[in-house]
Each structure stands twice: as C-alpha cells, then as structure tokens.
Structure 1
Amino acid sequence: MNPTPSGPERAEREELARLLPVPVERDLPPGRHLHHKDTLMHLIDQDTGRAAPRQRLLRPAVLLPAAAMALTGILVTTLAVTDRDSAQAPSATAPRTEAGTSRDAAVLLDRIASVAARSDELPVAGDQFVYVKSKQTQNDGGLGGPVKLSPPHVRKVWMTQKPGPVLDVGLIHENAQYWPIEVGVPDGESPVGIPAGLDRPTYAWLASLPTDPDVLLDRLRTETTRSQDISNTPPEDRNADQDVFDRVGELLRETVMPPKTAAALYKAAARIPGVTEDPEAVDAAGRRGIGVARENTRHERTAWIFDRNTLVYLGERSYLTRDTERGRKGTLIHVSAVLERAVVDALREEPTTTA
C-alpha cells in the first residue's frame, strides 16, 4: 500500500489536481457494449476448444404405456397400463399450443431413442400373436365432410406373426364385435397373401430392418412408395415426407418392436423434414404428455404422444390447424391411447399377467 504523501509532495499533487480539467464521465452506448460482449464470448468459446452448442433443456418425456418398456411395444411376457375407462372423454377441440421447432423434436426423439435402446428385448415367435389394447375416438364424418367424433371405445387387436404371405392377418374386437383382418380376393383370381413387411410388420421383419438411421429412412421411403395402402390417398394430398411420417406412426401403434429397431426408428423420424415438437398433448385416456408432430397438406396435424417423465409412447392425436370446411381450428380428428401390449399364443386370448 502506498504511504499517504505529506509536506511538499502533497502540496505539489494538490496543485496539479487543481490545474488539470475535471475528467468527463463516459460509458459505451448499449449497442456497442453488447457488441463487445458478444465478441468477447465468441473468443472465449474459441479458446475453450469449440465448446458444444448450448441446447435447450427439455423436460423428460418418452414412449409406451409401461414404465420399463419404453417403446411401441418392448415388454415382458405381458405389459399393461391401467385401462382408464372412467377417464373423461376427449374434448372436440384440442389444446391450442404453439408448436416447437424441428430442433426441439430432434432433441426429444434422440432422448426417446436412447431410452428405447436400453429396453429389454422379448422375441416373438412366428406362431404367436401380438396383442394390443387401446382406447380410441375417431372421425365418423367421412374424408371430406365435417368432423364427427365417435364415442370413446376400446379396441383390441391380435396380429399374426407368421413369416410367409398370409391371408388371415389377424383379428379386431371393437364395438362388441369381432372383425377378422383378411386379404380380399377378387372374383376369378387366385388368393395372394400379404408377406411380412411395412403393410404387415411382424417382429421378425422389424428386427431385420437396418439400424443406421439414414439407411433406415431410405428403406422406409422405398417401402412406403411400394405400399398398397397409400394408393387410396388423393393425389393432391400426397407428400413423400408425410407418407413416411404416417407409416412410422402406424408402426408405433400396434406392434411389439426390438429395442435396436425402435431406437433407429426414432432417430430416422428426427430426419423427416417438417417434424416438430408439440409441447402439450393429451391422449384418449386423459394422460398428458409431449408430442412429436407433423402437419399435412389438408391442415391436419398428427402428433405421437409420449410420457413426459418416462418417454414411453402413450398414443396419438390428430387435429385441424386452421379453420376449414371440416371444422374450426383445433378440432380433434382422431385420438388414441395404448393401454396394453402383450404376446399371446392364440386369437382372442388376453393376457392374464400385468407388468
């Protein structure tokens, strides 16, 4: 510390202070201050070895209706979620929330893929059936007319896992009736079964898919183009990216999937242009989650819904994003909730053990 000046030295300093002009107080204008601050932060990032970009932290969220199963159907011998038959029926208007960005969806799907990859695997034999129980509300108003939602109801499906082309694909129980899923045979033609593939995704076929996300996405695009189902889509509504997004959504609904395939599927979905995050989404059982969504050319937005904490797949919903002849903006078109997935040995057999 410098000693306090005294005597002649102190007098000399006081005289100099008196003669010098008073300094003018100045500060940088706000704009220049921010400029220099940004420049300084940029230099710091460079000096720290190209620091990783800052990512917005997402709240946890993920897949299926069973805690440790994290995907459209990775489960133990049976896997279930409490059937909320007493849950309130979905509103005709979906919650109006602002969609997130494609980056938000990519980050979320990457986290979902990580959970799916760590799931336990349960192989399904070719002589068994995949059983899925869900709760649904669907549009009974037709394709072009005003949306008219059906009452909430439970749907059960049994899907055969036979490897070769089959005529009897499975069975549906809905509205108190059983409906066989069969291949139609035109008059005078020989019956041709459906092989395992995108139109009949058996566990073995899903396990055979490539696990590299880019290769898998190319495979899905090729399979979707060849698929017989999209032939019913009006030409003006066709969009290759939307077609692939819709087919991935179908794979999530009523299958049991190998963990490695599930992880690759979610990473591939993150590469589909136009996929964004839905911050708020409610399934048909009233469970609130977070969605991964895409909007088609008819102004219909479809979101896959995942539990915020476990990232388990819950269900799906579709709704209008603007006023059209079909309804007002936010009108629900379809909403579902997966309640139970299992592997059983026969048609009409239901699991007796809950996981």
Structure 2
Amino acid sequence: MIRTPWRRREEPLDHAELRRLLPAPGDPELSSDRLRGLEEHLMTEIRNRTPDTAPDTAPDPLVGPPPAGAPAGDRASRPGRRSGRRPVLVGVAAALALAAAGVAALAGGPGGSGGSENPGRVAAPPAGAVPAPVVQVVRGSTAGLAGAVADISGAAARAELPEPGPGQFLYIRSEVSGLVSWEGSDGKNRSYVDKIHPREVWMSPDGAKGWLLEPHGKGTGRDGITLDDPEGGERTLNSPSHAYLKTLPTDPSLLLEKIYDETRGMGNGPDQQAFGTIGDLLREQVVPPKLAAGLYRAAARIPGVVLVDDSVDAAGRHGIAIARTDESDGSRTEWIFDRETFAYLGERTVQTRDAEGIRAGTVRGHTAVTGRAVVDALKQRPAGSAPGGDRAGAPAAPSAGT
C-alpha cells in the first residue's frame, strides 16, 4: 500500500477554513439513560402498570383459547394507527417538559451543573418525588383464574352504576402515583415516584367536553387542563366516550376480536396491547355493567394473563388481581379487586426483573379509584367530596364492576 506523505502547510489556516474542516456542532442530546427515563414516565402516564419472576402463562382450559380471528404475535402492523386516550396528553406534556429540562441541564441552563465534573446531572431528585417502594415478588398463576373472573364479571353485571342524563357529566376521582427516573450526580439511575396525589376527571357522555385536575401531578397546573374535543373526533377503543362504550358488543369473543383488530400494530405486541386497552377502559370510565362483565371475561382469554393472590392499590387496599407481564420490559400490570365484593379497586405496576436500571420489585406506579358519580356541571364535585387538592380521609370503595 502506497501512503501519501504528510506535508506541512506553508501557510496557517484562517478561521473560515478551519470552520469548514471541523464538523458542525450538534445540539445537546439526552443521555440514553435519561431518554429511557422519560419514556418510562410517558408510558406510566399512558398505561399506569406485583412482580412475577416466573409467571405461569400456560392457557387455562377452564378459560378457553383465544377467539377465532385473534392475531398471532407476528401479524402485520397497520400503519398510521394511533393509540392513547385524550387524558394521556398530560403524560405527553410532562415528558416534553422533562425532556426540555434535560436538554437545558446539558447546556448548562437552570437545573444543570454547567461546568461541573458531572454536567447534565442534578444533585437532588425531582420536586415532589419520593423513592419508589420495593415489594416482594408474588408469583401469578392461571390456577383459580377462571373462578375469580366468574366472580368479578358476575359482580360487574349486577352493579348499579350512575347513568348521565342530558347536560350532565361523569366524574371519576382517583389517587395516583407514577414512575420518575432520576440520574444522580454519580451517574447512576434511581427509581423515584410521584407522591400519591388526587386526580379528578370530568367527561361529558359524548366525549366532547371534559376537564382534568391533577394539581400535584405534572403538566396540568393548579387549575387543570381542558379535555374538550370541539371537532368531535372519531370515538375508538383508545379514545372512547361513555356513549361509544354503550355501542360495543358484550360477548367476550366478539369484544376480544374487536380489540385485537382495532389495536393491531400498537404497543409491545398484540396480547399486551389488548390487555392494556381493557385496563385503560376500566381505570377512568364508567363502563356499562354488561360491557364490564364482558371485558373481564375477554381479558381472561388473553395469553399470559394470570391471577395474583395479593396486591395493594394506591389507597393501601389489599385485594386479588388479574395481571399480565409485559415481556419487553418486565413490568407487570395488575387490576385489583376487593376480595369480598369483587369491586374494582385500582391498578398497580411492578417490575418483575432487573431491567433498564429498575430493580425487581419496584412499584412503577399505582392507582386507586375512590369515586365515580354523575354531576350537573363541569368541575362540580359530588356532595361530600373533598376538593382535588385535599385527601379526605380513607376513600370509599367504588361501585362493583367499575
């Protein structure tokens, strides 16, 4: 190989020529750990998901196989589909705000360390965040799943739920907490969560008007944000209204087929997305009784769904849980039900294995539904309900099946 000999330039480079030879400076970028943290926070807001180190995912013969037409894991995705409900815009806003803060820190702006030895890292966790609780991993199993689902769906079908009239609004109050990832000054990620705080949602039956109040959360401010949809967008499983839910089939096979079809190509695989979609409907809606019963029976047919003997919601209430582990990140989402009445209490998401800086047993997020009602005006609370910024003692148990 013939090498061209290096020759010394006889004239120095001027500034303009030097700039042409050097690469253009790039924009500040988030570290991979910080970016993963933001993604975790966003997904927690969207799906809000007790660990399962070795879940029994064998199909339960009493529950039955997936319905005809349910897609396998390799079915082609459908481009252009969008998932997520309008209240999830809060999570998007929070993630964008955190991302902006991260870039500012890397650039030496507020919250950053500028010329310190560890640029882009902050010495304290985010305001209002506390160390994420770590719980013992509880194994899930298909044993007993069919019987539990029969009890839960039966209670749901018998539930007496509020039905909104013209001009009225559905009101849902819950206690919530979500994951916050923080990179300390030593460069290590630590799992923090928001302090448990109230969240209130008002929605018109047709979904055209709504309001979200979460003053201790991120992205809503003290006065909350609008959920209005003046253009009257199309209602789907991922953007439902109460009126839309009343049009859905209640047969479990038909329901599951529709869920798989509408969510094809979304999320971390069709089975996990189907489970997450049902969970979203249960968490912050007033689901008609027969539909709620059908949704529980449909969920039991999703591969990987198990029964967990003990779980705890954000209000500290214990119950049994229908759960599924997302194998992509090791997080298990549990829907929690009262042991006696089989009423829906809330949801918890726990890490089942060490992954992405999150240790097994970490509670990534949990919720507790503390009230569902019908009110006459936007931002109006039911009689006896505490303001959104206050916690009025022990929450009352929600109606069965919701």
Q: In 1, distance between residues paired with 2:171 and 2:262?
A: 24
Give the paired residue count.
249
Per-residue deviation, 1:54 = 11
Partner of 1:108: 148
**Counterpart check, 1:149 vs 2:193:** yes
Per-residue deviation, 1:115 = 1.1
Per-residue deviation, 1:108 = 1.1
Of residues 320, 323, 326, the one that matches 2:351 is 320
Kept in 1, the 8 Å contact 2:318–2:338? The answer is: yes
**Counterpart check, 1:333 vs 2:364:** yes
Kept in 2, the 8 Å contact 1:127–1:162? The answer is: no
Identity across matched positions, percent: 39
Partner of 2:330: 299
Partner of 1:347: 378
Runs in 1 of length 4+ with deviation above 3 angstroms? Answer: 181-184
Q: How does 1:185-200 map to 2 (within 5 A)?
A: 192-200=231-239
Kept in 2, the 8 Å contact 1:158–1:348? The answer is: yes
Q: Deviations over 1:160-201 (max 9, x none)?
A: 2226xx4x54333332713324479xxxxxx84433332332
**Please, what is the CA RMSD of the aligned residues?**
2.7
Match of 2:194, SS state, is coil
Partner of 1:120: 160
Relative to structure 1, is the Cα distance of residues 327 and 110 closer, same or farther in structure 2, using a 3 angstrom cutoff? same
Kept in 2, the 8 Å contact 1:213–1:264? The answer is: yes
* Structure 2 residue identity aligned to 1:195: E
Kept in 1, the 8 Å contact 2:134–2:361? The answer is: yes
Of residues 153, 156, 161, the one that matches 2:205 is 161
Kept in 1, the 8 Å contact 2:161–2:286? The answer is: no
* Structure 2 residue identity aligned to 1:313: Y
Q: In 2, distance between residues paired with 1:171 and 1:216?
A: 29
Of residues 233, 242, 255, the one that matches 2:272 is 242
Partner of 1:135: 175
Per-residue deviation, 1:349 = 0.2
Match of 2:151, SS state, is helix
Q: In 2, distance between residues paired with 1:214 and 1:279?
A: 26
Q: In 2, distance between residues paired with 1:104 and 1:173?
A: 37
Per-residue deviation, 1:204 = 2.0
Q: In 1, distance between residues paired with 2:192 and 2:319?
A: 25
Relative to structure 1, is the Cα distance of residues 147 and 54 closer, same or farther in structure 2, using a 3 angstrom cutoff? closer
Q: Structure 2-normalised TM-score?
A: 0.57
Partner of 2:58: none
* Structure 1 residue identity aligned to 2:269: N
Tell me, which stretches of 5 or more residues in structure 2 are unaligned?
1-60, 64-129, 183-188, 386-395, 397-402
* Structure 2 residue identity aligned to 1:245: F
- Flag the structure with higher helix content: 1
Q: Deviations over 1:39-62 (max 9, x none)?
A: xxxxxxxxxxxxxx999xxxxxxx
* Structure 1 residue identity aligned to 2:167: D
Partner of 1:264: 294
Of residues 138, 151, 170, the one that matches 2:211 is 170
* Structure 2 residue identity aligned to 1:303: E
Partner of 1:204: 243
Per-residue deviation, 1:109 = 1.3
Per-residue deviation, 1:114 = 0.9
Q: In 1, distance between residues paired with 2:203 and 2:213?
A: 9
Q: In 2, distance between residues paired with 1:106 and 1:321?
A: 23
Question: Greater Rg, structure 1 or structure 2?
Answer: 1
Match of 1:157, SS state, is strand
Q: Deviations over 1:90-113 (max 9, x none)?
A: 9611232221x2242232112111
Relative to structure 1, is the Cα distance of residues 179 and 224 closer, same or farther in structure 2, using a 3 angstrom cutoff? farther
Match of 1:339, SS state, is strand
Kept in 1, the 8 Å contact 2:199–2:213? The answer is: yes
Kept in 2, the 8 Å contact 1:284–1:337? The answer is: yes
Kept in 1, the 8 Å contact 2:169–2:375? The answer is: yes
* Relative contact order higher in (CA < 8 Å, ≥ 6 apart): 1
Q: In 2, distance between residues paired with 1:198 and 1:258?
A: 14
Tell me, which stretches of 5 or more residues in structure 1 are unaligned?
1-52, 56-88, 185-190
